Amino acid sequence: MIVTVMVTLLCAAAVLQAMPKLSTKGEQFVDQSGKPFALRGVNLGGWLVEEIWMTPVAKDPPAGSGQKEIEDHYSLWGTIEQRLGKAAMERVRTAWRENWIQDSDFQRIKDLGLNHVRLPFLTMMLDEPNGIDWLKRGVAMAKKHGLRGNEAEGD
């Protein structure tokens, strides 16, 4: 948990270095000149946190298979690993992450007039080989397109 918070703060600092600092005045965010600044953003859930309710997977196992229903990210990747093996599961997960959100999505977010993205991630990513690189990639894409970002940690 402490490591996650530290990583989150370091990644957030990288994005914010190139942007003017925000502060609060009463209940409003304000820019450096004191002008109100409205955060207009989007949550990029489903990319680094595989949220089953928004995921195009068949949750129910084949009848008579003895397999369990896919309920969350643990059971999703566990089922894929059980069926295909660890190396294939990792290839599928990498393909998912490379394609669910791409650089062009950050440009579309900016073009829609939004100025903020939320990058939720699961702390278990820190246990994956190079797992933190996915979060760094998201932060870099947000920064490239002039979007503010915050990273939320999960279980």
Torsion of the alpha carbons at 95, 76, 101 and 19, rounded to the nearest 10? -120
Tens-place pLDDT, residues 21-59: 888 899 888 888 999 988 899 999 889 988 888 877 777
Over the chain, what is the mean pLDDT? 83
Q: What's the one-letter identity of residue 32?
A: Q
- Residue predicted with more confidence, 4 or 118: 118
SS3 28: strand
- Structure tokens of 20? 């003017």
- Pinpoint the alpha helices (H) of 1-155: 2-16, 73-84, 86-100, 103-111, 132-144
- Say what the pTM is: 0.74
